[in-house]
Amino acid sequence: MSIRTDHPGTLAQDRGRAFSTRALSTTTTPGDGHAARATPIYLTAGFVLDDFDHAHARFAGESEDDGFVYTRHGNPTTRTVEARLASLEGGDEAILLASGQAAVAATLLGLLSAGDRLVSSASIYEGTKGLILEHLGRFGIGVDFVGDPADPAAWEAAITDRTRAAFGESIPNPRNDVLDIPTVAGIAHRHGIPLVVDNTLATPALLRPLEHGADVVVHSASKFLAGHGSALGGAIVLAPADRWDQSRYPQLAERTGPDGLTALDRSGDRAFAIYLRDLVVPRLGAAPSPINAFLIGQGLETLALRVERQSENAATIAAFLAERPEVARVDYAGLPGSPHHATARRLLGDGCGSVFAVTLAGGLPAARAVFDAVEVFTRMTHLGDVRSLILHPASTTHLLRTPAELESSGIGPGLLRLSVGIEDVQDLLADLAQALDAIGRPVPAAVEADGSPDGRKAPALPGPVTGPAARAATSPVALAHRALTAQEA
């Protein structure tokens, strides 16, 4: 069952209205006979079937009531949020999933088969990079990373006759190096392949990639869309597939159903969207909880307000940090000196997002000092929260990458990632100022309990360790952590 922006739940008077208005009133919940103004939560695994013929009609997609069968395939609460998100992204179709990683995985597995290749920006979320390298690679799917995503020639050179999709992030995590979507989309379409864009950090409040030539948008809805750090979710939003060649994909153009028709025969430009909804997403099992769908829908209602405040705060903080002597570099496209400033101005008229990186001149010791000294910023691995967050990628999210891989990604030991929230900006500035002032302060004696000269080495293991503890101590994560902290000695 497919979700379109002209779904019966879309209120006629909302068509053509502004973004923030549609975020509040785009849809009503299908099947709600009580006229609830807030989205009802349908917390059920399945739905009652009237009789033999009704059961067949529902499963065959021939039911006149456009009803539901099983929440893994669809749910009224989820349906409402999907229609609203499709409207906000300017899409023809939306599918809600259990997480952003599920959205990326379902999209790429729906497009790619063994022997195919993906061309991807190298500046992407580390979890996505791991999915591509460590898991799609096991299935015989190759990847060609574009080291300089701002170079059109590099994208052209990376595409082969086996390339079946292009991937990038609108605002990459954590470097804020904005992707030139129209340029990359044009290159992809000349080769007959779709461009998939992760729009998590920009959100449709700042940028709608489908309007700039992208074919598929994915989100970690856990971030800005939900906005409060209380729910996990992901989303796929699709445009009609009239800009890329679906006939090159056997799963769409060759595989036939019981009716003898292929997906392309049956559904035309919507073949990939329906293939994702009916065959890929349910069979991978990444269905969202109706409660999480409800929370994401609640978040969408205030998305424009939150993103506006977060973007304003981030711009102020980036300018402040750029003037601090402790700071070597601020990766924020909103700064006039950024190499991505012109692209950001062209695509992101109302702000450059609120997730960016700052590199401290003092390297790892300085990053540690600032990280430990913040009081208003929360030390947490998350993004897009109403609260301001801080993380040290090299010792956390990117821990399993080699020094060479970190260097090529621009993730140095002194880099900190900031996700700016909606607090009063003066409090955030004061917090960062006092944290920067902590650089160079003597390390408290309690931190030096391991006996290391500067208190920054990883503690030695207490005598022989066996069993699970030994395996944990020699895991790739533990070894990488010790290698990193050894740099401070």
| pLDDT band at 409; cut points 50, 70, 90 | confident
Separation CA 460–CA 465 (nearest Å): 11
Kindly tell me if the per-residue pLDDT of 341 is higher than 80.
Answer: yes
406 or 209: which leads in pLDDT: 209
In one letter, which amino acid is 158?
A
| pLDDT band at 489; cut points 50, 70, 90 | very low
Query: What pLDDT score was predicted for residue 60?
Result: 84
Query: What pLDDT score was predicted for residue 219?
Result: 98
Kindly tell me if the per-residue pLDDT of 204 is higher than 90.
Answer: yes
List the domain boundaries for the chain: 12-301, 304-441, 448-486
Separation CA 75–CA 445 (nearest Å): 56
Separation CA 26–CA 15 (nearest Å): 8
> What digits encode the pLDDT tens for the residues 10-37?
444 566 789 888 888 756 666 667 778 8
**On the CB side of 159, how many CA atoms lie within 13 Å of its CA?**
21
- Kindly give, in sequence order, each residue whose CB lies less than 8 Å from that of residue 8, ignoring residues fewer than 6 positions away: 30, 66
40-57 average pLDDT score: 94
Kindly tell me if the per-residue pLDDT of 117 is higher than 60.
Answer: yes
| pLDDT band at 454; cut points 50, 70, 90 | very low
**Cα dihedral 72, 76, 80, 86 in deg (nearest 10):** 40
Burial of 65 (0-12, 13-18, 19+ CB in 10 A): exposed
Weakest-pLDDT range from 175-189, 333-347, 402-416, 427-441: 402-416
Kindly tell me if the per-residue pLDDT of 59 is higher than 60.
Answer: yes
Question: What are the strands, taking DSSP E only, across 310-414?
Answer: 327-331, 355-360, 378-379, 389-391
> What digits encode the pLDDT tens for the residues 4-17?
333 333 444 566 78
> What digits encode the pLDDT tens for the residues 248-279?
999 999 999 888 999 999 999 999 999 999 99
Query: What pLDDT score was predicted for residue 476?
Result: 52
Separation CA 373–CA 293 (nearest Å): 36
**Cα dihedral 248, 250, 254, 259 in deg (nearest 10):** -120
Instruction: Tell me the pLDDT of the chain averaged across its residues.
Output: 88
CA distances for 276 relative to 101, 178, 290, 327, 463, angstroms:
15, 28, 20, 45, 53
- Kindly give, in sequence order, each residue whose CB lies less than 8 Å from that of residue 286, ignoring residues fewer than 6 positions away: 97, 98, 99, 102, 105, 106, 234
Structure tokens at 469: 């503890």
Radius of gyration (C-alpha) of the chain in whole angstroms: 24
Kindly tell me if the per-residue pLDDT of 484 is higher than 60.
Answer: no
Query: What pLDDT score was predicted for residue 300?
Result: 97
CATH architecture of the domain formed by 12-301: 3-Layer(aba) Sandwich (3.40)
| pLDDT band at 401; cut points 50, 70, 90 | confident
* Percent of the chain scoring above 90 in pLDDT: 75
Separation CA 44–CA 293 (nearest Å): 13
Whether 12-301 and 304-441 share one fold: the answer is no
Place domain 304-441 in its CATH homologous superfamily: Aspartate Aminotransferase, domain 1 (3.90.1150.10)
CA distances for 24 relative to 242, 301, 304, 417, angstroms:
30, 5, 11, 32
Query: What pLDDT score was predicted for residue 461?
Result: 26
Separation CA 483–CA 480 (nearest Å): 5
Query: What pLDDT score was predicted for residue 91?
Result: 95
